[in-house]
Amino acid sequence: MRSFRDRLADLIRRHDESVRDRLDAIVFRDIPERRSAMRQLSITPRVTVTIGHQTRLYFAFATTAPVDLDAPATLTLHASTWSEIAGLAVDSLACDERHGRLPGRLILVDAMELAWQRARIRGHHHMFQPADPELVSLNALQQWLWQRLRAPGASQVAA
């Protein structure tokens, strides 16, 4: 003879299976399957950097701003004239003869400091353009970042 607990457990199991079958029919059969890829929200080239247990997301930008306007975690990957750097930007604004001789930099900006960095640079009337994802690919960013980390004096803190 089966105990009350055994009969109750059987009833609960059957009920759960019945409910699960009905939910499967409702949820999975009535919703058309989505196979479209997720669209990318940002066209700005980016690189994820993990050191130890900390991971940071950096975005690449072309700017005419001097280093003293940088956020604390901003890295300069390449410095040259604006005429050269502007070619790496999505929209090479104001690349005439006068602006072309200005100093320019390709920088990585920490995602957490991006709004502050953008406001500060634009507030001082410097150019700040997202880098072109075709020209500044993830591989290019990684290569420039490794070169920057291996550069003499890269580990020294500026006074």
pLDDT at 86: 85
What length does the chain have?
159
Rounded Cα gap, residues 117 and 74, in angstroms: 9
Stated pTM of the model: 0.67
Q: What is the pLDDT of residues 71-127, one digit of tens each?
A: 999 999 999 998 888 888 887 665 666 677 789 999 999 999 999 999 999 999 998
